[in-house]
C-alpha cells in the first residue's frame, strides 16, 4: 500500500493576496488523499520551504521584497510551478498603478521600519520565475484546483462563461441603458445583457460554472480573457465587448464606452490588458492555461 510519505510532495506559497485562493483549495479535500502537503503556512506551522517539492502552487502577486525572495526560493526548490488565482497571473486585484489618483498617498504610507518594503507595483509571478501552468480565477473553484493538480493535460474547459450560464439571449429585448442592477429582481431565465447589466461573460474564460450569472449577478471577468484574447492588445477584448453590446442592445455608444473603462473591468480583464503591455513578460498561452 502506498504510504503518505510516498505521495507527491505538495506545497502552497502565498504571496500578497487575500487568502481566498487557499480557502478555495481547502474547500476540496480530494488532495488530502493524493498529495502529501509539506508547506502551507495558513494551515501547517512550518516556516521552512522543503527542498524537493513536486508541485508548488503560488497564489498572490509579488508586492513586497519578501514576496520576491520567497518566490525565487520556491521556484528553485520545486519541479512544477502552478500560478493560481488572478493575483498571481496578473499582479493583484488591488493595483494602485501609475496615474491612480491615490498613488502618491499610498506610496507615502507604504513603508514601515524593519518591515518588508512594498514594491512600486504588484507584479505577476511570471515576471520573475518560470510558470508551468496557469490557473486563473478569483478564486478558482475547488473543481478547477483538482483539475490543475490531477488532469491538466486532458482538461476540457468551456471557452466562455456564456456556455455554462444557461440564460437565454433574446433578440427582441433591447435595453437602452445599463441600469439593470437598479431595476429590481432580474428574470432568472434571460441573459443579463438583455436586462441591462454589464455582463462580461461573452469574453471571459469559462470553467467556473457561471457561478455569478446563474444567481443573477453580472460576470465581472475574474477568470480573465478567453483564449482568443490571450496576449492580445487590450483593444481586442474591448472591441469584442463593444460589438456584443451594440448587437444586443440600444445603449448609446458613449455609455458603452464609459462602462468599458470602468474599474469593474479593470479589476480583472484590465489586469490582463496591463499584462500584455509589458513587453518583458512571457506569453501566457492557452496550452498552459486551465
Partner 1 sequence: MTTITYPLSRIEGHARVVIDIHDDEVFRADFQAMEMRGFSYYVQGIPAEQITVIVPRICGVCSTAHQVASVKALEDLFGITPPPLACEIREVLLLGQLIQNQATSLFIFTMPDRVNASSLFEIAETPEGKSRQFSLAQMSLKIRKIGTDLISLAGGQFIHPIKTVIGGVTSSIPREKADAMIKTIEELLPMAVDLVDNYWQMSTEMVDRIGTWGDDEPTYYLASTEADSFRLNSKRLRVMCDEGRECHTFAPQEYENYLNIEESDYSYAGTSSFQGHIMRANSLARINLTNSFGTPKADAYLKRFGEAYGKPAHAILFFDLCRGIELVYALEKAKQMLETDLQHGEAMVRYAPRDGIGFGLVEAPRGPLIHRYEVENGLIKKADFIIPTVHNMLAIRRALMVAAKRYVSPEGISNELSRAVGRVVRAFDPCIACATK
Pick between residue 18 and residue 40 the one whose CB is nearest to ligand SF4: 18
- Long-range contacts, stretch 201-204, CB < 8 angstroms, 24+ apart: 201/160, 201/161, 201/162, 201/165, 202/160, 202/161, 202/162, 202/240, 202/241, 202/244, 203/160, 203/229, 203/237, 203/240, 203/241, 203/244, 203/269, 204/160, 204/161, 204/268, 204/269
Residue in the structure block whose three cell numbers are 505538495: 10
Identify which of residues 36 and 264 has a Cβ nearer to ligand SF4 in the complex. 264
Q: Which of residues 124-183 bind ligand SF4 (CB under 6 A)?
A: 138-139, 161-162, 165, 167, 169
> Residue 193 binds which one of ligand SF4, partner 1, none, with CB within 5 to 8 A depending on kind?
ligand SF4
> Where do contacts with partner 1 occur on this chain (CB under 8 A)?
4-5, 14, 16-24, 26-27, 29, 32, 36-37, 41-47, 63-64, 66, 93-96, 100-103, 105-106, 109-110, 112-116, 118, 138-139, 141, 181-186, 188, 211-212, 214-217, 220, 262-264, 267
Q: Are 51 and 77 in contact (CB under 8 A)?
A: yes
- Say which residue the cell 508541485 belongs to: 55
Q: Is 161 exposed, middle or buried (0-12, 13-18, 19+ CB in 10 A)?
A: buried
**219 is an interface residue for ligand SF4 by CB under 6 A:** yes
Residue number of the CB atom closest to ligand SF4: 201
**Contact residues for ligand SF4, defined by CB under 6 A:** 17-18, 20-21, 59-60, 85-87, 93, 138-139, 161-162, 165, 167, 169, 191-193, 199, 201-202, 204, 208, 210-213, 219-223
Amino acid at each position: 500500500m502506498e504510504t503518505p510519505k510516498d505521495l507527491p510532495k505538495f506545497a502552497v506559497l502565498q504571496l500578497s493576496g487575500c487568502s481566498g485562493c487557499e480557502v478555495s483549495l481547502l474547500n476540496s479535500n480530494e488532495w488530502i488523499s493524493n498529495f502529501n502537503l509539506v508547506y502551507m503556512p495558513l494551515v501547517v506551522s512550518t516556516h521552512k520551504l522543503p527542498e524537493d517539492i513536486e508541485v508548488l502552487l503560488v497564489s498572490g502577486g509579488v508586492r513586497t521584497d519578501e514576496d520576491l525572495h520567497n518566490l525565487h526560493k520556491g521556484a528553485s526548490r520545486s519541479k512544477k510551478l502552478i500560478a493560481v488565482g488572478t493575483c498571481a497571473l496578473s499582479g493583484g486585484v488591488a493595483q494602485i498603478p501609475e496615474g491612480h489618483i491615490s498613488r502618491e498617498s499610498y506610496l507615502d504610507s507604504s513603508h514601515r521600519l524593519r518591515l518588508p518594503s512594498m514594491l512600486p507595483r504588484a507584479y505577476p509571478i511570471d515576471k520573475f520565475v518560470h510558470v508551468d501552468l496557469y490557473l486563473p480565477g478569483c478564486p478558482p473553484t475547488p473543481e478547477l484546483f483538482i483539475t490543475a493538480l490531477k488532469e491538466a493535460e486532458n482538461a476540457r474547459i468551456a471557452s466562455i462563461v456564456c456556455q455554462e450560464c444557461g440564460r437565454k439571449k433574446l433578440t427582441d429585448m433591447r435595453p437602452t441603458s445599463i441600469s439593470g442592477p437598479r431595476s429590481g429582481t432580474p428574470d432568472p431565465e434571460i441573459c443579463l445583457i438583455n436586462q441591462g447589466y454589464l455582463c462580461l461573460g461573452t469574453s471571459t474564460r469559462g470553467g467556473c460554472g457561471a457561478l455569478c450569472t446563474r444567481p443573477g449577478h453580472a460576470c465581472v471577468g475574474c477568470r480573465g480573457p478567453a483564449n482568443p484574447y490571450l496576449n492580445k492588445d487590450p483593444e481586442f477584448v474591448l472591441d469584442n465587448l463593444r460589438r456584443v453590446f451594440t448587437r444586443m442592445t440600444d445603449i448609446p455608444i458613449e455609455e458603452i464606452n464609459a462602462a468599458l473603462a470602468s474599474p469593474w473591468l479593470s479589476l480583472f480583464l484590465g489586469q490582463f490588458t496591463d499584462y500584455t503591455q509589458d513587453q518583458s513578460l512571457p506569453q501566457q498561452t492557452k496550452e498552459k492555461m486551465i
